[in-house]
Amino acid sequence: MTHFIDRRLNPKGKSLGNRQRFLRRARAQIRDAVQKSLKDAAVGDVDKARKIKISTRGTAEPRFRLDPAEGGERDFALPGNKEFTPGDEIKKPPSGAGGAGKDAALSGDGEDDFEFTLTQDEILDIFFEDLELPNLIRTTLKEMSQRSWRRAGITTTGAPTQINLPRTMRNSFSRRLALRRPSRAEISALEDELEALLSTSPQLPEQQERIAALRQQIERLDARRKWVAFIDPIDVRFNAFTEQPVPTSQAVMFCLMDVSGSMGEREKDLAKRFYMLLHLFLKRRYERVEIVFIRHTHDAQEVDEQEFFYSRQSGGTIVSTALDKMLEIQKARYATADWNIYAAQASDGYTQSGDARRCVEMLDAQIMPLCQHYAYIEILDEREMEVFASEESGAELWRAYRALASRWSNFATKRIAKPSDIFPVFRELFRKEVSG
Amino acid sequence: MTELLFNDAEWDFSTLDRTFRAIEDIAINELGLDVYPSQIEVISSEQMLDAYSSMAMPLMYSHWSFGKLFAREETLYRAGYAALAYEVVINSNPCICYLLEENTMPMQALVMAHAAFGHNHFFKNNYLFQQWTDAEGILDYLSFAKRYVSACEERYGREEVELTLDSAHALMNQGVFRYRRPPRPSRERQREKVRARLRYEEQAHNELWRTLPVGVDALAAPPVDDADETETGESKLPEENILYFLEKNSPSLRPWQREILRIVRSLAQYFYPQRQTKVMNEGCATFIHYTIMNRLYDKGLISAGALLEFLHSHTSVVFQPDFDDPRFSGINPYALGFAMMADIKRIAEDPTAEDREWFSGFAGTGDYMAVLRNAWANYRDESFIEQFLSPHLMRKLRLFALHDKAGAGAYQVTHIHDERGYRNTRATLARVYDVALADPNIQVARANLQSSRTLHLTFRPHHGVPLHQSSKEQVRAHIQRLWGHEVELEDEGAD
C-alpha cells in the first residue's frame, strides 16, 4: 500500500534551532566578520541581510583522517587513459592537488573559509551587542515601520466574517421591493380563501371559477418567490479594510565630523557606529530619512559617504564652519515645516581657540531652535578617558558644550572611547521613544 | 494503443498515483524486485534543504553542525551553485521517499522508479543493510534520540550536551563494528556444555578416589574451554570501535553521556552500509529507473517527449568526465554503477568470447535480472567491482591504475586496460572502494583502569600513509574529554 503525503504545508524553519546553535557557536568569528562588513557598509544599510565569510576555526569538526601527501604509498585508478602505458610517469601538479588529490583539498583545506548569509535580525543583534543597547530598545529598533488596518468602505467581495449585515439586508430588502417579491402573508391569505371555498359543499360556478383563478394565482406567486430570492449574492456587502502606514513625517540627519589629521581610523570607525545607530533610530521613527554628510577642517564641505569616511584632508580645525554649512543646507533644502532635523557631531574635541564660543552662540541662537535633537560625541582614546575622568574638565569645546547642554534638554554630549560608550548619548532620545 | 499516464509537465496526486502503479507493475512483475512498502512525500525546496542538513533523515536531534551545514547548503543553493537533489530516500520500513515539488511529471516518474523501487530494493535485500540496519525501527529510534537529547539539554544544559555530541561526532568513523561478533551462546548451548562436563566427570569417576583420606580434593575435571562464556563484552581488547569502548568503559562518563554516545554510535552504524555501497546502491537505482522508464515507453504509457526529458536528465547523472577534464572530480558512482550493471545485462544477453571466458558463470544465460538481484543482495562496492568489472567496460572507460608515493614528483602508471593489466587495474579500483582501508586503522590497545587510567590507542598505518597531524591532535583531545584521563595515541608507523 502506497501513501502519498503532501508535506509542503508543514511548518517551515525546521532547521532554525540548529542555525541558532551554530550562530552561538561561531559567535566570535561571526561578530568579527559582521563588524568588518559593517565597516564597509553605508550608514543607511546596517539593517540589511548580508553575506559574510567566517573562518571555520571555531566550528571545525575534526575527524581522524589519512594524509597521503605526507608519506606512504597508495594505488588508485582513473578513467580516461589516452596515451599512457605501464611504466609511464605523470607529473604531479605543483600544489600537490590534482587527480585524486583534489578530494582531499575539497574536504580539508577548502573548508577554511565558510560563507553564508545572515538575516537582518541576526545582523542587528550583533550590531547591538557591541553597543550594549538595552533589550527593550533592541526590540523597538528592530520593528518594521508601523502600519495599521483602517476601514476602507464597503466592498462586494470579502471573507464571510466581514459581512456587513445591515448593508446586506438593506440591499436585499430594496431588491425584494423593486422586484415585487410576494410576501408569505400575501400567499397565505389567498390559501385561506381557497381553503374556505373548497370546504363549501355545493359549489357555484362562479365559486369554481374563483377556485381556478386562486390556484393559478398561488402558483404564480410561489414561482415568483422562488426566482426572487430572499438574499441574492448581489446583495451581500463586506466591510473593507486596508493597511495604511501610520502617518509619519520625514527627517534629515546631519552628520558632522572633523576630518583633520587627528581623526584616525579608530575614531572614524567609532563615529560611524554613532551615525549608524542614530540612523537606525530615525529610520524606525520616520517614513523617510535623508542623510547629509558634512566634513570640516578649517572649512566645511558637503560630501558623499565614501569621501566622508575615507578621505583625509589637512588643515586646521574650525568647528563653526560646519555649523555654518549645516544652516546653509538646511535653509536651502530642508524647511522646518516639512522636516524633522537631527544633527550628530563627532570630533576629537580640538578647535581653534575662540571658535568654541562662536559655536555656542550659533547653536543657541539658530541651530538648537531648529533641531529635534543634537548629539555630540567626543572621541578620545582610553588614556585620555582616564585623564578626563570628570565631566567638568576638558578642552574648550567640551566645556562650552557642557554649558549648552544644561540649557537645552535636547542637546546631548558624551565622551567615548569604545563602542559601548555610544549609546548613552541617545538615552534621552530613546527614552522618549519608549515611553511615547 | 494504451492511454498515456500523463501528457504534460504538471503533476497532481492522482497522476502520481496512476504512474506509481504502472511503475510498480513493471518493477514487481517484470523485474522481480522485492521492496518495502513506499511512503511518498512531496516537499518544498526549503524542506529539502532541511533534509540535507540533518543527515537526510526526517527527524534528527539538534546540533550546531547541522545548522552549519544548512547555512552552507542554503547559500550555495540561493547563489545558484548547487542544484537540489531530485529526491531523498530513507532506509526505513515503510520506505520514505521525498519528491521535490518543483519536479516535472516525467521527473517525478523517474524519481519514483529510482527511489521507491531502486534504492528500496537495495535497502531491503543487500546483506550489509540486512545485517546492520533496522529499517523497521529507525524512525522510532530517531524520535527517541531527538527526545532524549533535548531532555538532556534541558536537564544538564545545552553546553554540556553539545560538548559530548561534539566529541562523539569526532569519533563517528571509529564508532562502527566492521565484523559481527560471535552470537552470545544460547541457553540451550550453555546447558549442553554443562551436560558435557557432567558426562566427562561421570566417565572419569573412579571409586578409588573415594578411598583417599578426608582433606584431599578429588582430581578436578580438566578446564573446559569456555572463552565465550567469560566474554561479557567488557574490556575485550583490542577494540576498534572506540565509541563503543568509551561508552562501556570510560571511568568518567555519566549515564546520560553514555546513552548519547550510544545514539551517535547507532547512527554511525546505520549509515555504515551506505558508505560501503555507494556505487552499487546508486548503480542499482539508476539501472532500475533506466529500465523502468524505457519499459513505460515501450508499453506506450509515456510519450516520446517525456522519454527525452528523462534521457536528458539520466545522461547528465551518469556523465563521467575523463581524469584530465576540468570537470573531473573523482569517479562518479552513478556512472560506474550504472555502466557495470548495464554491462552485466549485455554479458548475460549477448556475450563475446572474452565475456564467456571471464564470466563463464552467467555469460549468455539471458536472465540478467537474476544475476543482478544476486549481486545486489550479496556484494558491496569492493567485492562487486572485483567480481563483475569486465575487460570490455575497462576498455570503454579507459581505466588505468596509478601508484603514488608521497614525496615523489610523479605518479607512476602501473597497469592499464590491456590483457596484462585487466586483473590488476580491477583489483586496484576495487581496493579504492574498501572503506576499511580508507578509514585510518585505530584501535584501543590497552586501558589502565587500576592506577593511571591512561588509555592507549594504536594507529597502524597501511602502506605507510600517516594520520593528518593537526586533526589527529584535535580528535585525541575529544577522546580525552570522553575518557576523562590521559589518552595516548601510539603511531606504529612512526619508527
Tens-digit pLDDT profile for residues A143-152: 545 567 888 8
CB A334 within 8 A of CB A340: no
Residue A149 lies in a domain: no
Same domain as B486, residue B426: no
pLDDT (tens digit per residue) in A111-124:
456 777 787 777 77
**In terms of domains, do A203 and A255 share one?**
no
For A228-251, what is the mean pLDDT?
Answer: 82
d(CA A345, CA A351): 13
* Least confidently predicted of A249-253, B43-47, B184-188, B239-243: B184-188
The answer to whether the CB of A319 falls within 8 A of the CB of A355 is: yes
Q: CA of B106 to nearest chain A CA: how many angstroms apart?
A: 17
CB contact under 8 A, A90 and B409: no
Contact B410 A2 (CB under 8 A): no
CB A22 within 8 A of CB B58: no
Q: What is the pLDDT of residue B223?
A: 53
Residue B105 placed within a domain? yes
Size of chain A in residues: 436
Same domain, residue pair A383 and A325: yes
Restricting to A residues 89-108, those with a Cβ less than 8 Å away from any Cβ of B are 89-92, 99-100, 102-103, 106, 108
Q: Is residue B377 situated within a structural domain?
A: yes
Which residues from chain B sit within 8 angstroms of residue A89, using beta carbons? Answer: 410-413
Looking at beta carbons, which residues of chain B come within 8 Å of A91?
409-410
In this prediction, residue A107 carries a pLDDT of: 38
Q: What percent of chain B has pLDDT over 90?
A: 39
Q: Which residue of A has its CA nearest to B24?
A: A2
Evaluate whether residue B132 is within a structural domain: no
Q: Are residues B344 and B449 in the same domain?
A: no
Distance CA B281, CA B271 (A): 13
Angstroms from B440 CA to nearest CA on chain A: 6
Q: Are B405 and B348 within one domain?
A: yes
B452 and B430 belong to one structural domain = no
Q: Does A81 touch chain B (CB under 8 A)?
A: yes
Per residue in B2-39, pLDDT tens? 788 888 888 888 899 999 999 999 999 999 999 999 99
Instruction: Give the residue from A170, A205, A239 where a domain finishes.
Output: A239
Q: Strand runs (DSSP E) across B80-234, as ranges?
A: 87-90, 95-100
Write down the mean pLDDT value for chain B. Answer: 86
Q: How far apart are the CA of A61 and the nearest CA of chain B, in angstroms?
A: 7
Q: Which domain holds residue A123?
A: 12-59+101-131
CA distances from B435 to B174, B271, B328 (A): 12, 12, 22
pLDDT at A106: 37
What per-residue confidence (pLDDT) applies to A434? 45
Q: A133 pLDDT band (50/70/90 cuts)?
A: low
The H-or-E segment that residue B390 falls in is none
CATH label of the domain that carries residue A420: 3.40.50.410
Cell triple for A382: 582610553
Q: How confident is the model at residue A102 (pLDDT cuts 50, 70, 90)?
A: very low
In a shared domain, residues A178 and A235 = yes
Per-residue pLDDT tens for A278-301? 888 777 777 778 888 888 888 888
Residue numbers in A near B404 (CB within 8 A): 68, 73-76, 100
| Digit-coded pLDDT (tens) for B419-442 | 888 999 999 999 999 888 888 889
When divided into structural domains, chain A yields a total of 3
Judging contacts by C-beta atoms under 8 Å, the chain B residues touching residue A88 are: 412-413
**pLDDT confidence tier of residue B370, bands split at 50, 70 and 90:** very high
Q: Are residues A257 and A233 in the same domain?
A: no
pLDDT at B222: 54
Looking at the structure, do residues B458 and B427 belong to the same domain, yes or no?
no
Whether B432 and B324 share a structural domain: yes
Q: Is residue A108 part of a domain?
A: yes
Same domain, B431 and B325: yes
Residue A104 has pLDDT above 70, yes or no: no
Of the candidates A216, A224, A296, the one whose C-alpha atom is nearest the C-alpha of residue A256 is A296
- Asked which of B418, B437, B456 is the last residue of a domain, the reply is B437
B82 with B115, same domain? yes
Over the stretch A339-370, which tens digit does the pLDDT of each residue have? 788 888 888 877 777 788 888 888 888 888 88
Of A239, A264, A289, the one marking the end of a domain is A239
- What is the domain range of residue B338? 318-437
Are B473 and B387 in the same domain?
no
Residues A401 and A265 reside in one and the same domain: yes
Q: What is the pLDDT of residue A111?
A: 46
Residues B365 and B455 in one domain: no
Choosing from A112, A131, A150, the residue where a domain stops is A131
Picking from B66, B166, B407, the nearest residue to A18 by CB comes out as: B66
In a domain, B50, yes or no: yes
Assess if residue B268 is contained within a domain. no
Report if residue A77 sits inside a domain.
no
CB contact under 8 A, A75 and B431: yes
Mean pLDDT of all residues in B122-148: 89
Which residue of chain B has the CA closest to A74? B404
> A234 and A255 share a domain?
no
Q: Using one digit for the tens of pLDDT, what is the confidence trace for B454-483? A: 899 999 888 888 888 888 888 999 999 999
Mean pLDDT of B336-351: 93
Cα nearest neighbour of A73 on chain B? B405
- Confidence band, pLDDT 50/70/90 cuts, at residue B220: low
The bridge status of strand A89-91 relative to strand B410-415 is antiparallel
The number of folded domains in chain B is 3
Query: Could you say which of B17, B72, B402 has the minimum Cβ distance to residue A78?
Result: B402
Whether residue A327 is found in the same domain as residue A397: yes
